[in-house]
Structure 1
């Protein structure tokens, strides 16, 4: 039995280049390209946004675009841990960014939970990770200011775990990096939350990641047997840094402001926060606070920066998708693009994630599968925990026991499938929330009391008023019953 030991993973020196025109003959299972994008809310052209994302829009036109995909935890590490294992949070540690480190890193290979990449690897897939797939920026366990270690966060998931840190030298430095090679840590937080620089795509880390992914695809295309390539991009996570040409795609004066810039009526302030992560960039023009909105000019500048970052990462995704097609692998490769959670971007006066509001939990999900129909705009409610079983079904593999997620393969073919349950559960801040087609019901336990919030989406697209005390009792009782079905998954979610 292979133990979890800390050992280096080396870049294989496989000869590259050979256009895989006969790839489908080489493999009896589809390949997998899984792309994680950090802090990507549904702010793409295909979702109706003004943001210029031609590559992701094209992918959405060839597959299923999910408008109601929700993550289980609104923070990166815990959200990814839940998605990777297909499991809802069960303990407080499952809400931590260290969830994978705690639950997986120190375990024997035979122990549960098993990530979806581990399951693919055990079933004959050659698995390669590049960048931020779980919590740690390059997949290895070490602190922000430490030297890179050789201890893998997901030790049984990868045949290779790769990253090109470039002039930033380590994954965490690159994650918080600026164009001159410095980073948030080395500058003692004396940094701006945004930056544009006259540099090529490789002048920021995500450009290096795209180049490495293209190179690795060429190598994988020459291999016998199916492969899984997982690629994690940093942007649009803070700091909002992108090459100048992507900023030039927008006129700042035309950037729309948040449609819901104020705290919703009847919302408890402990359900929101004062944007401490954002305020940690100490050279920011203004500080964000629940007590007062930032100025409209600064809000537009920040939204401009976020939009530029999305266009930048869209271009990097496009390079990988183009390479996949050039190699002849497109028609035998499942492509999934996933955002690990949403981002408020000034909504409800918050600049960040870390809430149980809809905008923090709803994120991008696009699935293009060779076996599924094309160009589906899907309005069914799905969860990040559903991705694991869905991918296994698409790969014709068994679905491990003990999962809370369910395969939505049938929704790829028939979005109106009648047996699907439209309910997504999320957890954070000592609370539990459920999203159903017209409502979100959330319960918090605060200072020994149960506090409930209810939002109606039939009237407006986002939360503006807590209607728990005024909604019809029959509706409230039904929603509480739906919520209580998942109380047992989180020990603090009981009064």
Structure 2
């Protein structure tokens, strides 16, 4: 009798189990994170139809474009440090390119992830870095003219860190490389800030990076675990070198010079700079100075070079995205295109980044999240690079037990017209803190030279031609408490 009941119980249990809906656990989405150096939001998808950027534009048509994305620090390494950690700068060292070298590269492993990449790795992601994701061209700690070390800028973030330096032999040589295998350092800076190369795409480093990314995608497609693939392209960083076919996309005499190439009124010139990075290419036909603009013809030449570099890197992005689609990974992969800051192309008589003006702090941000319907939409809210950390964690369904200074953008991705409570961004550099709201940019400088407060009404004055702080004390008073919220105390000590 007991034996019969036991067998009956097994039969009933088996029958019940067979009727349970055993849906497979969904794999977390992959992440393809593409960082592009010095990329202004000057692309076709941003309404600049004179720029040839068909591949990034195509991605944007299936994702969301952030029209008002701002970085926290307008220099490469510090901007990336803030973005990857999700933190605002806490001291002056966080404003420098060697922030990774001085902090993450030497820190012991703790419960606090060094970056959001590390946090993804801790949560089951296989992470691969190619090119410039942190600061150095290949993710290793060494100077421009030094031999590469084995010390990683991010020792805990990567399962694999790879780079093809090609004929240039080192990452930094490749970063400043010319088509003949020379570089800015090897030529003692006796080079022009641009090159028209009668060569193919792989004769410059970004072509090799695209090829390596494609090879890596072929490998990652066969993995059972989700992946994070970071691909860091160099162009359009100086030198503006690109194959001739990308130069040929533009007619130089039809390229417009900067809409406001003069100095802003009512500012101290120390808020800007004399374009030292640009002038460091010693064979440039003209030198940029605050007291004298470049000639219109040379300004067009340099903008032509920048545009060609943008089109060149766009083509490399297209190759990687094409492979992603070919492998059937497009619908399971989040794609982010992020520019580490903007660049003055003669705007405000400046050639370069390194200012707290709009042209330097505003950059490209495009996100395609297949699980969220946002095809071809645009968001006009003010967003920051620090927002990427919590955004990716939410999209990847990864918990965040620790705090960051950013806010997830997922609600905006789902509903681009949503009104957000925190509609401001903060920028830090040159002893200043800059607040960006929907209408204004207000910057407070911790310096002796006057004026220390700058205010621009960007709805009326989008090119920051006139500082109106003196005649608008009531606006300054209303904005100052908001700016003070972004004061982390970084200028209180050295």
Structure 1 match to 2:378 = 377
Structure 1's 111 and 100: CA in aligned 2 closer, same or farther, altered over 3 A? farther
Structure 2 match to 1:43 = 42
2:215 is the counterpart of 1:211 = no
Structure 1 unpaired stretches of 5+: 1-23
Structure 2 match to 1:144 = 144
Please state whether the residue corresponding to 2:379 is helix, strand or coil: strand
- 1:26 and 1:300 map into 2 onto residues whose CA distance is 55
Show CA shifts across 1:134-182 (max 9, x none).
1111001111112221111101000000000110010000000000000
Structure 1's 414 and 204: CA in aligned 2 closer, same or farther, altered over 3 A? same
- 1:47 and 1:28 map into 2 onto residues whose CA distance is 33
- 2:452 and 2:272 map into 1 onto residues whose CA distance is 14
Contact 1:432 1:493 in 2 (8 A): no
In the TM superposition, what are the counterparts of 1:125-204 in structure 2 within 5 Å? 125-204=125-204
Contact 2:267 2:451 in 1 (8 A): no
Name segments (4+ residues, structure 1) moved above 3 Å. 24-27
Show CA shifts across 1:275-333 (max 9, x none).
00100000000000000001000000000000000000000000000000000000000
Please state whether the residue corresponding to 1:315 is helix, strand or coil: helix
Please state whether the residue corresponding to 2:452 is helix, strand or coil: strand
Structure 2 match to 1:248 = 248
Structure 1 match to 2:4 = none
Please state whether the residue corresponding to 1:250 is helix, strand or coil: coil
More divergent stretch after superposition (106-115 vs 371-380): 106-115
Structure 1's 493 and 424: CA in aligned 2 closer, same or farther, altered over 3 A? farther
2:453 is the counterpart of 1:435 = no
Show CA shifts across 1:82-133 (max 9, x none).
0000000000100010111112110112164620110000000000000000
Structure 2 match to 1:281 = 281
Please state whether the residue corresponding to 1:191 is helix, strand or coil: coil
Please state whether the residue corresponding to 1:32 is helix, strand or coil: strand
Structure 1's 457 and 450: CA in aligned 2 closer, same or farther, altered over 3 A? closer
Contact 1:118 1:158 in 2 (8 A): yes
- 2:26 and 2:324 map into 1 onto residues whose CA distance is 15
Contact 1:445 1:493 in 2 (8 A): no
Contact 2:71 2:79 in 1 (8 A): yes
- 2:491 and 2:418 map into 1 onto residues whose CA distance is 34
- 1:261 and 1:77 map into 2 onto residues whose CA distance is 27
Say what the alpha-carbon RMSD is for the aligned residues: 1.5
Show CA shifts across 1:416-446 (max 9, x none).
3234311000100111001000000000022
Please state whether the residue corresponding to 2:344 is helix, strand or coil: coil
In the TM superposition, what are the counterparts of 1:53-452 in structure 2 within 5 Å? 53-110=53-110, 112=112, 114-373=114-373, 374-447=375-448, 451-452=452-453
Please state whether the residue corresponding to 1:338 is helix, strand or coil: strand
Structure 1's 111 and 277: CA in aligned 2 closer, same or farther, altered over 3 A? farther
> How far did 1:475 drift?
2.3
**Structure number with larger C-alpha Rg:** 2
Structure 1's 25 and 220: CA in aligned 2 closer, same or farther, altered over 3 A? farther
Structure 1's 296 and 398: CA in aligned 2 closer, same or farther, altered over 3 A? same
- 1:490 and 1:116 map into 2 onto residues whose CA distance is 24
> How far did 1:450 drift?
7.0
Structure 2 match to 1:30 = 29
- 2:458 and 2:290 map into 1 onto residues whose CA distance is 23
More divergent stretch after superposition (410-419 vs 91-100): 410-419
> How far did 1:481 drift?
1.3
Structure 2 match to 1:5 = none
Show CA shifts across 1:34-76 (max 9, x none).
0000000111111122110000001111111011000000000
Show CA shifts across 1:262-284 (max 9, x none).
01111210000000010000000
For normalisation by structure 1, the TM-score amounts to 0.93
Please state whether the residue corresponding to 2:435 is helix, strand or coil: strand
- 1:174 and 1:490 map into 2 onto residues whose CA distance is 37
For normalisation by structure 2, the TM-score amounts to 0.93
Contact 1:27 1:224 in 2 (8 A): no
Structure 1 match to 2:7 = none
- 1:90 and 1:76 map into 2 onto residues whose CA distance is 17
- How many residue pairs get matched? 469
Structure 1's 113 and 26: CA in aligned 2 closer, same or farther, altered over 3 A? closer
Contact 2:112 2:402 in 1 (8 A): no
Structure 1's 448 and 311: CA in aligned 2 closer, same or farther, altered over 3 A? closer
> How far did 1:200 drift?
0.5
- 1:481 and 1:130 map into 2 onto residues whose CA distance is 41
Show CA shifts across 1:225-257 (max 9, x none).
100000000000000000000000001001111
> How far did 1:490 drift?
3.1
More divergent stretch after superposition (168-177 vs 395-404): 395-404
> How far did 1:474 drift?
3.2
Contact 1:26 1:225 in 2 (8 A): no
> How far did 1:453 drift?
0.2
- 1:491 and 1:80 map into 2 onto residues whose CA distance is 18
- 1:70 and 1:295 map into 2 onto residues whose CA distance is 30
Show CA shifts across 1:178-205 (max 9, x none).
0000000000000000001110000100
Structure 1 match to 2:455 = 454
- 1:107 and 1:400 map into 2 onto residues whose CA distance is 20
Structure 1's 345 and 449: CA in aligned 2 closer, same or farther, altered over 3 A? closer
> How far did 1:485 drift?
1.1
